[in-house]
Structure 1
Amino acid sequence: MKKTLHLWHRYLGLFIAIPLIIISLTGSILVFKEEIDHLIMPELATVNAQPGTRLSYDLLRNKLNQQLTHYEIGSWEVFDDGKTADRVYVIKHGTKDWYKVYLDQYQGIVRSAPVAVDFYLTDWLLDLHYKFLIGDTGLWFTGLASLILMFMGISGLTIYRQFWKKFFTLRLKLKRTVLFSDIHKLVGIWSAPILLVIGFTGVYWNISEIIHHELEHSDEEHHLITGRLYNHDLSLDTMVNTSISQMGGFRPTYILFPYEPELQISLFGEVSDISVVTSEYSSTVNFDKQSGKQLPNYDIREAPLFLAVVDSFRKLHFGYFAGLTSRIIWCIIGLTPLIFAITGTYLWLKRRKPQKHKVAAVHAN
């Protein structure tokens, strides 16, 4: 049994090496996506203002509509930290194509023309990480890679089930094969718990997206945007204020507009008195898109345990639940598949050489 498991561990690792390296490298970079955006394109992603002084939502929406006359707002990422520009995603009239713009929420300036959602470097890396740049088909590949990553972690701990005895074993003075074997095992032992978390959360997201795209919402069903699907006289500020008063401690972080006939206006946000792994989109307040009447809301503090656990997957996957410390750890652990690929491939090649020599000797005789 152990030998069979070892073979599966070895050959699946070789099979998935390159895709896993791509996923791990891009994931480690994306842990610091915000900082990278601020560094390489400060004229778009960065603002300089006093937190709490952003303009009203209604005024900002009017400015967006005035400057983007051939587009409709689909969703809106909201920030009020004084340094991060709002990100607004718009849909071009007559199409189902989404575009991205940056908005200075403190001055009411649309900082960029609409571009494809994967136009900027970190957005391109996100698409590479999430879909391998091949659309929804890529979800199957990244989902498979995440499943294999989980298997590699579990099988590795099973093969070396007395792993606690080698928590610090690294024999530097022996030959390279032994050293690489120790590095492979040692890195695997230390990184396995976090890699299992990353792999499991990734699998869940991929399966959820696949079900959504394949079973619930095929491409042919997308609505082509020709105009606003909601009452444009409704006040966003009123909705935000209602959300704050109805759900204690609510802070809006994301607004979803109806881009299909069956959707309403939804405000996502975070609330007080929550776990450190609860996401910033954990709670929702919905409003009727024509009357503005408040619909039933969703408060993560009152949700079943299962849904609270699922919500935690976002912070657990990207590792930003404990500030800079957890993000650095996640970034470093995310690079370990590269180490596994190098050491594992080297060990596999070294073990094949004696077999080749043996076969050659048999034929010679």
Structure 2
Amino acid sequence: MSMAKSIRLWYSIHKWTSLVCTAFLLTLCLTGLPLIFSDEISTWLDDDPPYAVLPANAPLADLDHLVDVAKQKYPEQIITSAFMDDDEPQVIIGLAPSWKESEDTPDSNHWIKFDSRTGQILEESKPAAERSMNFLTLMMRLHIDLFARLPGQLFLGLMGILFVLAAVSGVALYGPFMKKLEFGTVRKGRSSRLKWLDLHNLFGIVTLVWVLVVGFTGALNEFSTPLFALWQRTDVQAMLLPWQGAPPPNPKEFSSLQEAVITAKRAVPAMTVLSVSYPGGRFGSAYHYLIWAKGNTPLTSRLFSPLLVDARTGSLTSIIKMPWYLRALEVSRPLHFGDYGGLPLKIIWTLLDLITLVVLGSGLYLWVARRKAQDERVNRLIQRLNATSPIPIDGIRETA
């Protein structure tokens, strides 16, 4: 392929991938800005009741007691999960009318928040009709699925892939178009469009690595639901073959949650047990507690290991080795949000996000300006031809 044809091909790829994804990428960049600081904003907006003032080494409440309290308040419902916060002294118990309703009608899910030391109820989620969406939830839903759930996730995943293609094709064009100019040149003495073209190229090449990382990891995150479904249908089902055909335990047969968590901690002593999914969930087992543990360093704290504990006997069934695609998904999350290196990295991520907004906005401006310039050139040509032709050219164009 000749150089001219290659450039035309890359130009077409860059133009159309950019045009298709730009509006959605602008939305993702804008909503991503507050999500970078989600922890800080959550603390700032937090109006929950204060925790009891206790010594740092105060013993934790028994998880079985917290589950019993939740059951007493909602005797007709099931426990779906338990979350043991490792940052705040709280335990959140999830409930639902049934697993079917939990999956078919997500608004039926609710929770009770306990002080993890005293066992006192701190807060309960409001009924679905009374719930109001807070700022961070609004930003997260727009960022993840545009309020369209799985179809929205898959669509934004496709936009992420187009974004990566736009970046790669931009690199392919950068060399031929900028080879006669020094790096970083911005031609200010010419037209406004030319100045913005130089800025677009400069900011695009400077943020290239970040754009590729964030674009690829963002697209990967959007495919998390089908990836977990694949894991459920393959690896998890293979592990559950010994229980195939056996009746699952009913809630009255469940062993102690407290003992299940202790068993998991003994199995992975270098990790922190974070949450438990009760038997019956879509992405778990009908026969086991699915317990999630995470590492204790800034990077490994984003890497999770699931364990299966028999819900009847409380014995450890297995420590599950996550498949490569879920490991890649886990690694992609901190890279995407830049929340594993403290406030300095968050500030860097914010600056790069703002520069990317300029790249996207300038690209849209350049396309509009180019079309406007082309229309003006056509109009000037028609005017010149009309001035020399006995038959109006624009009249011919209208009747053609």
TM above 0.5: yes
Q: Is the 1:67–1:110 Cα contact (8 Å) retained in structure 2?
A: no
The verdict on how the C-alpha distance between 1:280 and 1:357 changes in structure 2, with shifts beyond 3 A counting, is closer
The verdict on how the C-alpha distance between 1:292 and 1:277 changes in structure 2, with shifts beyond 3 A counting, is same
> Are 1:112 and 2:124 an aligned pair?
yes
The verdict on how the C-alpha distance between 1:112 and 1:27 changes in structure 2, with shifts beyond 3 A counting, is same
Q: Is the 1:253–1:280 Cα contact (8 Å) retained in structure 2?
A: no
- Structure 2 residue ranges without an equivalent (≥5): 1-5, 234-248, 386-400
User: What corresponds to 1:257 in structure 2?
Assistant: 278
- How far apart are 1:138 and its partner, in Å? 0.7
User: What corresponds to 1:241 in structure 2?
Assistant: 262
Question: Where do 1:231-310 residues align within 5 Å?
Answer: 231=252, 234-260=255-281, 262=286, 264-272=288-296, 276-298=298-320, 308-310=327-329
Q: What is the CA–CA distance in structure 1 between the aligned matches of 2:94 and 2:315, rounded to whole Å?
A: 24
| Greater displacement, 104-113 / 185-194 | 104-113
Determine which of 15, 18, 22 is the counterpart of 2:20. Answer: 15
Q: How many residues are matched?
A: 349
The verdict on how the C-alpha distance between 1:304 and 1:232 changes in structure 2, with shifts beyond 3 A counting, is closer
Q: What is the CA–CA distance in structure 1 between the aligned matches of 2:202 and 2:127, rounded to whole Å?
A: 45
- How far apart are 1:100 and its partner, in Å? 4.1
Identity %: 22
User: What corresponds to 1:359 in structure 2?
Assistant: 378
> Are 1:72 and 2:78 an aligned pair?
yes
Secondary structure, counterpart of 1:296 in structure 2:
strand
Q: What is the CA–CA distance in structure 2 between the aligned matches of 1:233 and 1:174, rounded to whole Å?
A: 75
Determine which of 205, 215, 222 is the counterpart of 1:189. Answer: 205
Q: What is the CA–CA distance in structure 1 between the aligned matches of 2:227 and 2:72, rounded to whole Å?
A: 37
- Structure 1 residue ranges without an equivalent (≥5): 218-227
Secondary structure, counterpart of 1:185 in structure 2:
helix
- How far apart are 1:170 and its partner, in Å? 4.5
Secondary structure, counterpart of 2:317 in structure 1:
coil
CA shift digits 1:28-55 (9 cap, x unpaired): 22122222222223227x7465555442
User: What corresponds to 2:242 in structure 1?
Assistant: none
- How far apart are 1:288 and its partner, in Å? 1.0
Give the residue type in structure 2 aligned to 1:126. Answer: M
> Are 1:5 and 2:10 an aligned pair?
yes
User: What corresponds to 1:223 in structure 2?
Assistant: none
Q: Is the 2:145–2:153 Cα contact (8 Å) retained in structure 1?
A: yes
The verdict on how the C-alpha distance between 1:67 and 1:179 changes in structure 2, with shifts beyond 3 A counting, is farther
- How far apart are 1:356 and its partner, in Å? 0.8
Q: Is the 1:10–1:344 Cα contact (8 Å) retained in structure 2?
A: no
User: What corresponds to 1:35 in structure 2?
Assistant: 40
Q: What is the CA–CA distance in structure 2 between the aligned matches of 1:204 and 1:351, rounded to whole Å?
A: 34
Question: Where do 1:61-100 residues align within 5 Å?
Answer: 61-82=67-88, 85-93=90-98, 95-96=101-102, 97-98=105-106, 99-100=109-110
CA shift digits 1:163-189 (9 cap, x unpaired): 898664445666432332232222212
CA RMSD of aligned residues (A): 3.4
CA shift digits 1:267-291 (9 cap, x unpaired): 211235x6x5334451222211222
The verdict on how the C-alpha distance between 1:231 and 1:320 changes in structure 2, with shifts beyond 3 A counting, is farther
Give the residue type in structure 2 aligned to 1:111. Answer: E
Q: Is the 2:204–2:356 Cα contact (8 Å) retained in structure 1?
A: no
Q: What is the CA–CA distance in structure 2 between the aligned matches of 1:125 and 1:361, rounded to whole Å?
A: 47
The verdict on how the C-alpha distance between 1:230 and 1:331 changes in structure 2, with shifts beyond 3 A counting, is farther
Q: What is the CA–CA distance in structure 1 between the aligned matches of 2:361 and 2:347, rounded to whole Å?
A: 22
The verdict on how the C-alpha distance between 1:136 and 1:118 changes in structure 2, with shifts beyond 3 A counting, is farther
The verdict on how the C-alpha distance between 1:202 and 1:342 changes in structure 2, with shifts beyond 3 A counting, is closer
CA shift digits 1:43-79 (9 cap, x unpaired): 27x7465555442322222223333445433233321
- How far apart are 1:216 and its partner, in Å? 7.3
Give the residue type in structure 1 aligned to 2:147. Answer: L
Determine which of 109, 117, 137 is the counterpart of 1:123. Answer: 137
Q: What is the CA–CA distance in structure 2 between the aligned matches of 1:269 and 1:118, rounded to whole Å?
A: 31
Q: Is the 1:256–1:265 Cα contact (8 Å) retained in structure 2?
A: yes
- How far apart are 1:314 and its partner, in Å? 2.0
> Are 1:204 and 2:220 an aligned pair?
yes
- How far apart are 1:238 and its partner, in Å? 1.5
Give the residue type in structure 2 aligned to 1:264. Answer: H
- How far apart are 1:296 and its partner, in Å? 0.8
Secondary structure, counterpart of 1:160 in structure 2:
helix
> Between Structure 1 and Structure 2, which shows a larger proportion of helix residues?
2
Larger radius of gyration: 2
Q: What is the CA–CA distance in structure 2 between the aligned matches of 1:180 and 1:336, rounded to whole Å?
A: 13
Q: Is the 1:230–1:290 Cα contact (8 Å) retained in structure 2?
A: no
User: What corresponds to 1:148 in structure 2?
Assistant: 162
Give the residue type in structure 2 aligned to 1:206. Answer: E
CA shift digits 1:144-200 (9 cap, x unpaired): 111111112212222214889866444566643233223222221222212212222
The verdict on how the C-alpha distance between 1:147 and 1:38 changes in structure 2, with shifts beyond 3 A counting, is same
Q: Is the 1:234–1:292 Cα contact (8 Å) retained in structure 2?
A: yes
CA shift digits 1:229-258 (9 cap, x unpaired): 545652222222222222221211122112
